Structures are given as structure tokens and as C-alpha cells.
Chain A
């Protein structure tokens, strides 16, 4: 795996772009925000205490502890009673909480004033040493601390928190002023959560997956097909390892080395990766230069060209090879994310690629027939071997290595390689598409809330204050990430926010 991780350091020779003003390695059809939305979705599907690359196969730490999928558990945790620290305190409901907690940003000169908006996740200082160090905000007050893995992701998390809080604003506006009972708090929270989750699911189904998947495979799953529908019907369905330790890793290949964060700030990937409470507590909360203006990450109305994802292929941005962020984890002294992804994929007991293809063939033969890489094992092996030989100086793969890898490639690597070969890096190839679709569409088929499928907890027009009526009509029509961001901007009064919200 060490040698293969060096082989994928050789940059991919992409074909020329059909779109002017776009770099060769950029994907003109996939703004960068979708890479991070996919990471957020990954956290909503899979929650392991420790990464596979650092534990043994049967270690309890590597089990997926996510109990319900695609219900924004990554945002809400176990709700305001059990995950209390993630919720804003309130006197209105006898101590019960309904809003997710957010934190003020700071100015670029490291000062904080009353005009600094609540656009960061909430963060707190540690006090276990007995001395509270106010300037070191080491503790992210969010249900899933992985969502503070870097600044762009924590900013995206704050968008979903704002979505929930904005819905609460609209619901509270229809209620009488003054104190309310805890029962009101529970009902209001449940409605806001259910509506947020529905909007989120709609974006994932109609926008994210449509962009990432092979069109024919997307159409099949979108119309209700699942390879293993019986598994979804069983209680306790969880994302398969082929997703969590294999296919999901393609997201890392979409990460750029540099991002335009807002109109005034262009920042490096490495800076992004250390802008967390864990790595950079003395510089928290996020300052203005790290507050994301979402029109730089999604195609919003203004026509601004957003940051574009890298085309998907077997190559990661240099920032993901940082020794400080991804230090060596074994005796090979190899650091970086590519090596970790290969280890996770190769040694976590996944189905082999060949077995996976044969299983797909028995259930949906036309998917296999549509791609010679799937249909013809010998041809695929020969194509893989040719590619591995091309830049042999990188990693020094010998003939035995090339034979072994081409016969049984680590799934994470194959999904990236296949996207490069079958889709020019613009979306996933067939195997990647099927694994992602099988997992995410299955999760989308699970009940959205405790009351039943499709959300029995619905918001009726009378539930919403007059000032919010027009905005809430758009909530049920949210289909894309720009729709969701526009709703949040309006319902949270962020149209004139500084730094700009969208």
C-alpha cells in the first residue's frame, strides 16, 4: 500500500476541458460545496469511534455507531435533552431547549464586538487543568465533533444549524408571547427537526446524488430500485463497509489545494484543515477570512463562478499529504491521507472488486454489461496494470505488485481510478455509483422521524408567523443546495450579513 500511495502522487493527465476558463483538473459541473456536503452526509451515515486504519478488524472502536441514517443525527445528536451542550439555553420553555447553539465569529484583527454575527459553530474553553484559558477554545459544542474537522465543514454545519433555528423562528412567531411549557418545546423542536431533515434529504436526492452518480444508475435508484431491498427493511440497517471504508473515500480526491472563501479571502487547504478547535484553539472562533460566502461554493443566483471540485481520479491534493495533519501511523513512516485510505480499504474485510461485480451481475446484469471494465475481468486487469506501469518511477511498483493490485485493487483506489477512466473524473463510474447509490438511497428509504415515513410531523400554514409565510412556502420546495441556502438567508435575516452569507 505504501508503494501504491506513492504511485498516486503522480498527477493525473486529464483530457482538455470543454469549458473555457476552467483548469484542466477542475470539474466544471461540480462546485466544491458538494464535496463537503458529501462529507457531512458521510458523517450522518457512519460514526466510528476510531478510523479503520488505526484499529484492528474486530475492534469495537471501529463499529458504526450511527443508529439512524439521513435524519441529521450528525447535527442533532440525541436531541436537546441528551445532547444538551449542543443547544442554546432558553428561559422560555422552563429550561428546555429548542435551538442549536452557534457562536460569534471574530474580526480579522482578533477582536470581537457586538456586531460580529453568530456564524461559527459554538466553541468553549477547556477547564480540566483547573485553569480556564479563555483564548483557547478547544471544545466544539456540536453533537458530532468530526464536523469540526476543518473550517469549511464547520461552516457547513452552521448552515444546517441556521436552517433549524430559522424554522424555529418561524414557528415561534405564530405562538403567543411569554413562557411556554416543556411540551411546547418538544413539539416545536420535533417539527423543526423533521422539516430540516426533509429539506436535507431532498437536497441529497435531487442535487447531490444527481451530480455524483452515473446518470443511468441514478435513474434506476431514483425510481425505487435497490440491489438489496430486504436489508433496508430490517431494523438497525447500517451503511455497508464497502461504502464507509471504500467508495466514500472518493470525496478526498475532489479536495482542492486552495479556496476562495469569501469575496475578501483566498485560503490554502492546509490552513483550512487546521482551522479547528482541536488544532488551532488559540485562534478560535473563526475570523472573517474564514466565514464562508456560499456563492463561492454553490451556484447561487448571482452568476459568480464558484470554487470547482477537482475531477475525481487516483490523486489527492498536496495539502492532504501534510505530515502535521496526517502523520505516519505505522512502521512504513508513510504519512498523508492517501495511504490511510488505502489501508482502510485493503484491510477492513471488504468484498473483493471481482466478487462485488459478480453480485451486481446476478441482480442487475445490464449495469455490468454497460461497462467493459466490469464485464471483462481480464481486460480490466490489463488496463489497470498498464496504468500502474505508466509512472512506475513513482513508488517503484514491481511486476508482482502490479499483478496483485490489478487483480484485487483496494476498493477506494478502484472507485477513483474508475471515475477517471469511465467518466473523465466528472462523476463516479459504475461501481462507485452503485455503492454510493445503494447506501444513500437505502438510508433515504428509512423513516424520517419517529412518527413514520415522509414525516408525519408536518408544518401547517397556521404553525408559522405571518412574516415567515412566504419563506416557508419555499421550504417544502427545496431541492438543491442553493435553494436551501437561499431559504436560510431569508428566514435568518442574513441578506445583509457581513461577511456576506451567499
Chain B
């Protein structure tokens, strides 16, 4: 059975929620107050209020927030099971790369065509990107 994943229908709004947690300024401009949640229930509630369209899988019992200083490099190591699950999905016949809709919209609306032989390279590039990039 493929792994159930954390996902957001409105990824931009989740981005604004993270910016709100980081800066203390409400980027969602909805009159609510957003502070870094203390537990998973509060994380769920804030996502509902912020309308991020979060799907938080049942297996998630805890959430950990990593606040870092500007002189510290933070590399998030993903769980082994998730990397293996992704590799299995991406190497299956006819697999497509599930990029968030925002990328497609930013590049003229065309569905990205990623050649099968480039799929795992792209996967590695994405992991390299989101584990190393600070807010860009």
C-alpha cells in the first residue's frame, strides 16, 4: 500500500502560514492569530482556519517545528520509507512527477514532461532543493 502523505490543496496559503509563524505578521490577512502550534491538533486546527487544504495523514501523531538561526544550516533528513516509496512510484511504468500546481502555473500552464530516464534525477534535485533552501 502506497504511503499516505501530508499534502496541501492551497500550498500558497500554507506558505503564508509558515511566513506568519516565522515573522509574527499575518500574511493570510484573515483576522486570525497564528502562533507556532504546540501539538498536532493545534496544527490541524490552524490549517483549517488558514484554509490551506491540508490533508494530515492518520499516522501523524506529532508535529515538530524546527526554528533555526541565520547562522545555522538545517538539513531535514526525510524518512527512508518515504524516499523508497517515491522511488517506487516514479519508476513504475507511465509514472508522472506530481509537481504542485503552482509550478505549472508559473511556467505558462503547460504540464511538465519529465522523461522517464530523468525522473530519479529530478527527484534527487527536488530533495536537494527543499532540504537546503531557506525560504526562496
Q: How far is the CB of B92 from chain A (nearest CB, A)?
A: 6
Q: Which residues of B contact A109 (CB under 8 A)?
A: 113
Interface string of A369-409 (1 = CB under 8 A from B): 00000000000000000000000011100000000000000
Interface string of B1-42 (1 = CB under 8 A from A): 110100111100100000000000000001000000000011
- A264 & B48 in contact (Cβ 8 Å cutoff): no
- B7 & A288 in contact (Cβ 8 Å cutoff): no
Q: Chain B binding site: helix, strand, loop or mixed by DSSP?
A: loop
Q: How far is the CB of B78 from chain A (nearest CB, A)?
A: 19
- B94 & A108 in contact (Cβ 8 Å cutoff): yes
- A265 & B95 in contact (Cβ 8 Å cutoff): yes
Q: How far is the CB of B42 from chain A (nearest CB, A)?
A: 8
A268 lies within 8 A of chain B by Cβ: yes
B111 lies within 8 A of chain A by Cβ: yes
- A321 & B110 in contact (Cβ 8 Å cutoff): no
Tell me the complex Cα distance, A219–B17, Å. 51
Q: Which residues of A contact B49 (CB under 8 A)?
A: 6
A10 lies within 8 A of chain B by Cβ: yes
Candidates A262, A263, A270; contact of B9 at CB < 8 Å: A270
- B58 & A21 in contact (Cβ 8 Å cutoff): no
Q: Which residues of A contact B13 (CB under 8 A)?
A: 323
Tell me the complex Cα distance, A334–B48, Å. 11
A39 lies within 8 A of chain B by Cβ: no
- B2 & A266 in contact (Cβ 8 Å cutoff): yes
Q: How far is the CB of B108 from chain A (nearest CB, A)?
A: 8
Interface string of A436-450 (1 = CB under 8 A from B): 000000000000000
Are A318 and B54 also in contact (CB < 8 A) when A23-B1, A264-B95, A282-B110 are?
yes
Q: How far is the CB of B96 from chain A (nearest CB, A)?
A: 5
A139 lies within 8 A of chain B by Cβ: no
- B48 & A394 in contact (Cβ 8 Å cutoff): yes
B44 lies within 8 A of chain A by Cβ: yes
With most chain A CB atoms within 10 A of its CB, the pick from B1, B53, B54, B109 is: B53
Are A335 and B51 also in contact (CB < 8 A) when A10-B44, A323-B13 are?
yes
Q: Which residues of B contact A258 (CB under 8 A)?
A: 2
Residues 461 to 502 of chain A near chain B (Cβ within 8 Å): 499
A322 lies within 8 A of chain B by Cβ: yes
- A268 & B94 in contact (Cβ 8 Å cutoff): no
Q: How far is the CB of B93 from chain A (nearest CB, A)?
A: 4
- A10 & B111 in contact (Cβ 8 Å cutoff): no
- B8 & A318 in contact (Cβ 8 Å cutoff): yes
Candidates A11, A318, A393; contact of B53 at CB < 8 Å: A318
Q: Which residues of B contact A322 (CB under 8 A)?
A: 9-10, 53
Q: How far is the CB of A5 from chain B (nearest CB, A)?
A: 9
Q: Which residues of A contact B8 (CB under 8 A)?
A: 318
Q: How far is the CB of B14 from chain A (nearest CB, A)?
A: 11
Q: How far is the CB of B28 from chain A (nearest CB, A)?
A: 10
The 29 listed contacts between A and B (C-beta, < 8 Å) are: A6-B49, A11-B44, A21-B1, A23-B58, A25-B58, A108-B113, A257-B55, A262-B94, A263-B93, A264-B92, A264-B95, A265-B94, A266-B95, A271-B98, A288-B94, A318-B7, A318-B53, A318-B54, A321-B10, A322-B9, A322-B53, A323-B9, A323-B53, A324-B101, A333-B30, A336-B53, A393-B41, A394-B48, A499-B94
Chain A residues proximal to chain B, CB less than 8 Å? 6, 9-11, 21, 23-25, 108-110, 257-258, 262-268, 270-271, 274, 280, 282-283, 287-289, 317-324, 333-336, 393-395, 499
Chain B residues proximal to chain A, CB less than 8 Å? 1-2, 4, 7-10, 13, 30, 41-42, 44-45, 48-49, 51, 53-56, 58, 89, 92-96, 98, 101, 108-111, 113
In the complex, the 3 A-B pairs of residues with the closest C-beta atoms, listed nearest first: A264-B94, A318-B55, A321-B53
